[in-house]
């Protein structure tokens, strides 16, 4: 299973962190602190897997962002890479050509999307289209609710 | 950058409401973005948290801004600051009617809390009502929160509601309910805690038949977890899984499940994983799935990563289930593009898959030797490490030297603790299993100690010492020389040239081994004993912080060295016994002073053990020479007492005259404890009851045997001397034929337990397949079989092999060189080097290809191999086990080694002997 997903910038700043295994605050900070230099220091051409403690780190760089997953040692590394890629594709479609700033300012949206993709460290939705539909529904509903509450009488 | 700015500006323009709502958050993010230092960032966040604290505790809190506050809190927490003051507030916001705020609050809670947190209790009611909500989005949100927050103690509260959601009309809800149940199942995997009696898997089986593919895939996740803990109850699902896989692979799912034009690869891979678990070790099940596996493998192609992922998973499944030659061949074929790929990722997985195949079919690696060598020389550490793992799996007696060389080379450059420990373990394991000769074993292990001694467990050190003890004088001499060299390199030649860079200190374990070896066999050194003494003393000067354990061993080593080199009169003894403070008049010069200084220090040491050892040293060296030499015999470390001897010694015959004399003088006769107890019991029958006290355990045989040395040294020695003679001849005979197992089968009861085995497989540890003498000569592997015989054990033997291997190597090497594109002259040099390497790595592997392929049931191979040509392997295997069984007390044993039994017993004997005298 996936133990955690971390998005970090090239400067090592955390943009998004989701923990599926139990880590307390201190452990979370330590994990981030320890894996950041390992990943940032890796040259581009090398393979995207790293053994770290009893976890395998699978990471991929998209523009200025690193997507890092910590998975079980026995997991299929290639499929983890593809999960990352699927996440990026979904983000890309949602934000229309996603960039780091989208994720900085709308990081809660990124969390919602990730919740649609992964639950309890497992991939829950293999279909991009379904994720999209769900997120759109959600936005629609939020929009309706907000209009309903904020500006009375205006049906969206 | 410019484009990004434009985009933000555009975004801000189009969404004014968004801007208003999140202005403060935006400002925060911007301020953080502009921070130059971590301190500045911390300051801003602290300010922000203060502000939020104030706002949230304000009774006139603007609830419509709840979402924004939650998001700001998540942001602060994400940057590593504590926002625990707001947890309760987030719980309140979770019950907010506004879905907006509710979602943000749930998100915040899943980020902040986990299922061990007590606060979750407060959320249960909210969660339950949300799970029953009409709005399916709210139900989804609550289900996602449940997968993170519900712990074992709360499962029962939400379980019924979640099960009810399995029949929700929306597939999103059903899917999330399945995943929530999956999480609950993980909380209590054995179903004996809160979930006792609950039939989770029944639900999963039902959901597997859901009409929506994503619900089915969620059920697959859950079933995978169940099957992982116990595959047996799920064997009847194999037909369902295979038919699902077949349909998926045939593109029967809706187009929306395609991923880069591969049909639902994520579902395929999940299914493959499940099939691997179900088929492992089950012949019938494996045969049922073979056709589908082959189909899935054929349909995938490595044009895209996802295709490679499927192939990789197929190969992993094929190597996990009951071996099927046809599938294995297809798997081996399908990974060759991986190994030749320019992508490191693919090569990495290729090597991993190859390692799996090699375990079943040792010939597989030989076909890819060039690729494997490439990976081994790759600058990428992860890849290199994986390749070393592959090599570890394909090691056999013929290529052990090259492989350990490679591993050691990596060990020398690697700094990661975990990896180092792993490599050290592997090298010592391989060396024990396949060492071609004792001398090689000793030098290899010593090198391992030098490079990674901090990770060696003492058991390995103990086995090394034991092995050295068992060998003949020639090896003792070479071990002594090797260790002296090691100390020399370490000491930087005393006061001569202070080495440029301070060298790495030798770890404690190797120091102990060195002390023991130099003590026991230092007299065999090719230099005068005084030089050995100075080397030993240099341990102290180069390791200022040497522990007392090392010092203790050093003292004992000095004692033995002195005893073996002429006692008190010899150069070492004289140096050691110099009166303290004498102005260096004696034989030793400055070195002697140093030695005497050490002895003197230890005599007055606070540490009792050091003190005792120092006293032993002085006492022993003051004994008359014949007595000394029998107390510390030369080369007697691997003698063992036979049971008969022990029994004889335990009766303490040599005390008889003493006892008769005492009895004649009127002493009371000895009463055994039981008799004594009966007597006193009568007398005190109506007094206090003493039954509760068990009689103390008297006289452990070994300890009492020691008395022989105080009184009857000489005749006891005679016995031991004879056994020593017999064991040493056996040992000498054994070490003379190095390639075979070291112990002759006869008399192995008397033999010491650790026996160096070159061929004998172990019962425990990873299964490995021995290369047998090639019986069939396959065309494809001319290199292997012809080289195999000539090759034997020596690394130098790689020469002849390289020529015959050239054909295969250069031919397939073409691909690689076009990639590296270096000059041709360099290439040929490299080529030759690589060929040699390839030949020595794969030399014998190829020859077994045909034999291995024709073998009907690979799973039975381990048993077949346990009868290699050398008939004694079985015996030696047992011995090995006994040897390792003894290892747990390594700590004690290592200490004991330094005080050979005789000496220890001498001191122990003081008590009983004097006691009976009275």
What ipTM, to 2 d.p.?
Answer: 0.90
In Å, how far is A114's CA from the nearest CA of chain B?
11
Residue B709, beta-bridge partner list: none
Which pLDDT score, from 0 to 100, does residue A25 have?
A: 80
Residue B802 has pLDDT above 50, yes or no: no
Most confident of B46-50, B670-674, B734-738, B787-791: B46-50
Contacting residues of B for A82, CB less than 8 Å apart: 259, 265-266, 305-306, 309
The answer, yes or no, to whether residue B867 has pLDDT greater than 80, is: no
Would you call B382 and A46 a contact, using CB atoms and an 8 Å cutoff?
yes
How large is the average pLDDT for residues B836-849? 58
Is residue A25 less than 8 Å (CB to CB) from chain B? yes
Q: Which of B80, B84, B315 to mutate to test the interface with A (most CBs of A within 10 A)?
A: B80
pLDDT value, residue A69:
92
Residue of A nearest to B27 (CA): A105
Mean pLDDT confidence for B328-352: 86
pLDDT greater than 80 at residue A57: yes
For range B532-540, the mean pLDDT: 74
Name the more confident of B296 and B576.
B296
Q: Average pLDDT in the A40-63 region? A: 85
Q: If you write DSSP's letter for every residue of A47-107 in order, what string do you get?
A: -SEEEETTEEEEEEEETTEEEEEEEETTS-HHHHHHHHHHHHHHHHHHHTS--HHHHHHTH
Confidence of residue B892 (pLDDT cuts 50, 70, 90): very low
Q: What is the pLDDT of residue B467?
A: 76
Range of weakest confidence among B414-418, B681-685, B857-861: B857-861
Picking from A142-151, B386-395, B671-680, which range would have the lowest pLDDT averaged per residue? A142-151
Query: A42, A61, A127, A152: which to substitute to probe chain B, counting the most B Cβ within 10 Å?
Result: A127
Q: What residue has token string 């390692």?
A: B355
Q: In what order do the strands lie in the sheet with A49-52?
A: A14-19, A2-9, A65-72, A55-62, A49-52
CB contact under 8 A, A120 and B217: no
A156 near B CB under 8 A: no
Structure confidence by residue, pLDDT tens digits, B465-484: 777 777 777 777 777 777 77
* H or E, element range at B631: helix B625-631
Lowest average pLDDT, out of A135-149, B739-753, B826-840, goes to B739-753
Nearest to B382 among A50, A104, A129 (CB): A50
Q: Please report the pLDDT score of residue B780 as a whole number.
A: 40
Residue B742 pLDDT:
36
Pick the residue of A50, A63, A78 with the most B CBs within 10 A to test the interface with B by mutation. A78
Residue that is written with structure tokens 């009309």 in the block: B169
Q: What is the mean pLDDT of residues B866-891?
A: 43
Residues of B in contact with A50 (CB under 8 A): 382
Q: How many angstroms away from the CA of B140 is the closest CA of chain A?
A: 9
A103: closest chain B residue by CA: B29
CB-based contacts of B192, cutoff 8 Å, min separation 6: none
Interface list for A 62-121 with B (CB within 8 A): 76-79, 81-83, 85-86, 99-101, 104-105, 107-108, 111-112, 115, 119-120
Cβ separation B305–A142 shorter than 8 A: no
- Candidates A115, A135, A139, A140: best to mutate against B (most CBs of B within 10 A) is A115
Q: Say which of B33, B256, B269 has its CB closest to residue A79.
A: B269
Question: A82-86, B575-579, B686-690, B788-792 — which one is most confidently predicted on average?
Answer: A82-86
CB B759 within 8 A of CB B797: no
Average pLDDT over residues B106-131: 87
CA distance B669 to B660: 10
Q: What value does the mean pLDDT take over residues B353-359?
A: 86
User: The tokens 């985009």 sit on which residue?
Assistant: B7
Scan for tokens 């006139």, then name that residue: B60
Residue A68 has a pLDDT of 92
Residue indicated by tokens 């000489």 = B714
Instruction: Give this prediction's pTM.
Output: 0.65
d(CA B527, CA B237): 74
Contacting residues of A for B316, CB less than 8 Å apart: 76
Which one of B105, B307, B380 would you mutate to disrupt binding with A, by most A Cβ within 10 Å of its Cβ? B380
**CA gap B203, B207 in Å, rounded:** 6
Is some CB atom of chain B closer than 8 A to the CB atom of A30? no
CA angle B388, B393, B394 (to 5 degrees): 95
Determine the average pLDDT of the residues in B708-724. 39
User: Which of A46, A51, A111 is opposite residue B344, by nearest beta carbon?
Assistant: A46
Number of C-beta neighbours around residue B597 at 10 A = 15
Q: DSSP 3-state assignment of A6?
A: strand
The end-to-end CA distance of chain B, in Å, is 97
Strand partners, A50: A57
Closest CA to B35 of B25, B49, B26, B45: B45
Residue B639: what pLDDT? 60
Task: Find tokens 């026995």 and name the residue.
Answer: A74
For B724-764, how does the pLDDT look when each residue is reduced to its tens digit (9 = 90+)? 344 444 444 444 443 333 333 333 344 444 444 444 444 44
What are the structure tokens assigned to B261, written together? 């034009």
Pairwise CB contact (< 8 Å): B179 & A141: no
**Percent of chain B surpassing pLDDT 70:** 65
CA-based nearest distance A119→chain B, Å: 7
Taking CA atoms, what residue in A is nearest to B257? A127
Q: What is the pLDDT of residue B8?
A: 54
pLDDT at position B545 is 63
Task: Please compute the mean of the pLDDT values over residues B597-613 and round it to a whole number.
Answer: 79
Residues of A in contact with B98 (CB under 8 A): 145-146, 149
Is 60 exceeded by the pLDDT of residue B617? yes
Closest CA–CA distance from residue A68 to any residue of chain B (Å): 15
A146 inside 8 A of chain B by CB: yes
DSSP A118-141: EETTEE----HHHHHHHHHHHHHH
Mean residue pLDDT across chain B: 70
Q: What is the dihedral of CA B572, B573, B576, B581, to 10 degrees?
A: -110
pLDDT attached to residue B504: 58
| CB neighbours of residue B557 within 10 Å | 24
The alpha-carbon gap from A76 to the nearest alpha carbon of chain B, in Å, equals 7
The closest of B468, B483, B612 to B548, measured between CA atoms, is B612
Least confidently predicted of A80-89, B431-440, B761-770: B761-770
Q: Report which of residues B896 and B557 the model is more confident about.
A: B557
Q: A14 and chain B: CB distance < 8 Å anywhere?
A: yes
Task: Collect all residues of chain B within an 8 Å Cβ-Cβ radius of residue A141.
Answer: 99, 135, 137
How far is it, in rounded angstroms, from Cα B102 to Cα B150? 18
* Residues of A in Cβ contact (< 8 Å) with B137: 137-138, 141
Bridge partners, residue A18, by sequence: A5
- Across the range B314-328, mean pLDDT stands at 89
pLDDT tens for residues B631-687? 776 666 556 666 777 777 777 777 888 888 888 888 888 777 777 765 554 555 555
Contacts of B379 in chain A (CB under 8 A): 43, 46
Q: Which residue has the tokens 């923990």?
A: A19
A53 — contact with chain B (CB < 8 Å)? yes
pLDDT number for residue B785: 40
Give the separation between CA B338 and CA B351, rounded to whole angstroms.
Answer: 8
Please report residues of B whose CB lies closer than 8 A to that of A123: 217, 221, 266
Would an 8 Å CB–CB cutoff place A17 in contact with chain B? yes
pLDDT at B546: 65
pLDDT of residue B749: 41
pLDDT-derived band at A67 (thresholds 50, 70, 90) equals very high
Helix B155-165 with B120-131: angle, nearest 10 deg: 20
Q: Which of B356-360, B535-539, B562-566, B862-866 has the highest mean pLDDT?
A: B356-360
Query: Are residues B312 and A76, on separate chains, in Cβ contact within 8 Å?
Result: yes
Nearest-Cα distance to chain A for B144, in Å, is: 7
């Amino acid at each position: 299973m996936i133990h955690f997903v971390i998005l970090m910038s090239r400067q090592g700043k955390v943009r998004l962190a989701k923990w599926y295994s139990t880590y307390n605050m201190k452990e979370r900070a330590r994990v981030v602190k320890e894996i950041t230099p390992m990943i940032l220091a890796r040259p581009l051409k090398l393979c995207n897997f790293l053994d770290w403690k009893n976890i395998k780190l699978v990471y991929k760089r998209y523009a200025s962002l690193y997507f890092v997953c910590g998975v079980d040692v026995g997991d299929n590394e290639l499929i983890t890479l593809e999960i990352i890629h699927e996440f990026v594709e979904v983000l890309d479609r949602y934000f229309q050509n996603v960039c780091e700033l989208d994720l900085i300012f709308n990081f809660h949206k990124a969390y919602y999307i990730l919740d649609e993709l992964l639950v309890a460290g497992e991939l829950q939705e293999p279909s991009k289209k379904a994720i999209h539909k769900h997120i759109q529904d959600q936005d629609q509903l939020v929009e309706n609710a907000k209009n309903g509450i904020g500006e009375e009488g205006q049906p969206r | 950058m410019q484009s990004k700015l434009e985009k933000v500006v555009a975004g801000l323009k189009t969404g004014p409401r968004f801007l208003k709502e999140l202005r403060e958050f935006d400002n925060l993010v911007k301020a953080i973005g502009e921070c130059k230092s971590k301190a500045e960032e911390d300051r801003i966040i602290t300010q922000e948290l203060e502000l939020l604290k104030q706002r949230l505790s304000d009774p006139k809190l603007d609830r419509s801004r709840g979402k924004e506050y939650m998001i700001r809190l998540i942001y602060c927490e994400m940057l590593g600051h504590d926002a625990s003051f707001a947890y309760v507030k987030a719980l309140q916001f979770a019950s907010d009617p506004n879905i907006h705020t509710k979602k943000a609050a749930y998100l915040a809670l899943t980020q902040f809390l986990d299922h061990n947190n007590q606060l979750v209790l407060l959320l249960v009611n909210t969660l339950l009502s949300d799970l029953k909500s009409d709005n399916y989005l709210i139900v989804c949100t609550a289900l996602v929160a449940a997968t993170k927050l519900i712990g074992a103690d709360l499962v029962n509260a939400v379980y019924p509601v979640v099960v009810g959601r399995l029949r929700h009309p929306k597939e999103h809800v059903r899917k999330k309910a399945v995943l929530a149940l999956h999480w609950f199942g993980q909380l209590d995997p054995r179903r004996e805690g809160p979930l006792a009696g609950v039939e989770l898997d029944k639900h999963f089986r039902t959901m597997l038949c859901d009409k929506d593919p994503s619900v089915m895939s969620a059920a697959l996740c859950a079933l995978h977890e169940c099957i992982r803990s116990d595959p047996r109850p799920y064997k009847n699902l194999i037909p369902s899984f295979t038919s699902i896989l077949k349909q998926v692979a045939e593109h029967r799912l809706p187009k929306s499940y395609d991923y880069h034009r591969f049909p639902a690869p994520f579902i395929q891979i999940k299914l493959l994983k499940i099939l691997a678990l179900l088929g492992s070790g089950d012949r019938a099940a494996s045969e049922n799935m073979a056709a589908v596996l082959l189909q899935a493998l054929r349909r995938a192609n490595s044009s895209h990563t996802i295709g490679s992922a499927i192939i990789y998973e197929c190969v992993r499944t094929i190597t996990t289930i009951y071996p099927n030659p046809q599938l294995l061949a297809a798997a081996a074929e399908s990974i060759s593009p991986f190994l030749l790929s320019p992508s490191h990722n693919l090569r990495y997985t290729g090597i991993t898959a190859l390692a799996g195949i090699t375990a079943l079919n040792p010939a597989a690696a030989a076909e890819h030797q060039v690729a494997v060598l490439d990976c081994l020389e790759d600058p990428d550490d992860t890849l290199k490490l994986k390749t070393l793992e592959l090599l570890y799996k394909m090691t056999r007696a013929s290529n052990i030297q090259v492989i350990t060389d490679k591993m050691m080379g990596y060990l020398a450059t690697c700094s990661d603790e975990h990896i180092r420990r792993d490599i050290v373990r592997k090298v010592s394991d391989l060396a024990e299993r396949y060492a071609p000769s004792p001398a090689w074993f000793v030098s290899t292990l010593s090198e391992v100690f030098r490079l990674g001694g901090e990770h060696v467990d003492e058991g390995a050190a103990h086995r090394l010492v034991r092995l050295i003890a068992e060998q003949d004088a020639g090896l003792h001499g070479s071990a002594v020389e090797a260790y002296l060299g090691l100390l020399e390199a370490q000491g930087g030649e005393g006061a001569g040239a202070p080495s440029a860079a301070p060298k790495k200190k030798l770890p404690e374990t190797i120091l102990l081994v060195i002390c023991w070896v130099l003590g026991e066999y230092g007299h065999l050194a090719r230099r005068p004993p005084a030089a050995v003494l100075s080397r030993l003393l240099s341990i102290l000067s180069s390791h200022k912080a040497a522990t007392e354990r090392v010092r203790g061993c050093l003292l004992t080593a000095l004692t033995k060295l002195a005893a073996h080199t002429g006692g008190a009169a010899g150069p070492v003894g004289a140096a050691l016994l110099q009166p303290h403070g004498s102005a260096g008049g004696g034989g030793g010069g400055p070195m002697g002073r140093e030695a005497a200084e050490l002895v003197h220090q230890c005599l007055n040491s606070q540490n009792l053990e050091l003190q005792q050892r120092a006293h032993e040293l002085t006492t022993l060296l003051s004994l008359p020479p014949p007595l000394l030499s029998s107390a510390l015999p030369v080369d007697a470390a691997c003698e063992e007492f036979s049971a008969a001897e022990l029994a004889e010694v335990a009766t303490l015959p040599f005390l008889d005259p003493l006892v008769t004399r005492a009895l004649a003088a009127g002493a009371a006769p000895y009463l055994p404890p039981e008799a004594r107890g009966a007597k006193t019991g009568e007398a005190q029958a109506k007094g206090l009851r003493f039954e509760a006290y068990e009689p103390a355990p008297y006289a452990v045989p070994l300890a009492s045997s020691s008395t022989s040395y105080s009184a009857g040294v000489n005749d006891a020695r005679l016995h031991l001397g004879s056994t020593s003679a017999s064991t040493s001849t056996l040992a000498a005979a054994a070490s003379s034929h190095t390639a075979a197992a070291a112990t002759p089968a006869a008399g192995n009861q008397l033999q010491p337990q650790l026996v160096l085995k070159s061929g004998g497989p172990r019962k425990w540890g990873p299964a490995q397949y021995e290369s047998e003498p090639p019986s069939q000569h396959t065309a494809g592997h001319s290199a292997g079989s012809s080289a195999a015989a000539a090759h034997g054990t020596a690394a130098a033997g790689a020469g002849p092999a390289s020529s015959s291997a050239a054909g295969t190597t250069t031919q397939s090497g073409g691909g690689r060189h076009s990639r590296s594109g270096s000059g041709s002259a360099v290439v040929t040099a490299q080529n030759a080097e690589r060929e040699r390497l390839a030949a020595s790595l794969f030399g014998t592997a190829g020859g077994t290809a045909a034999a291995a392929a024709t073998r009907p049931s690979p799973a039975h191979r381990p048993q077949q191999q346990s009868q290699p040509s050398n008939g004694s392997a079985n015996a030696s295997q047992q011995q090995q086990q006994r040897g390792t069984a003894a290892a747990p007390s390594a700590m004690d044993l290592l200490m004991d080694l330094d005080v050979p039994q005789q000496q220890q017993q001498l001191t122990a004997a003081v008590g009983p002997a004097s006691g009976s005298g009275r």
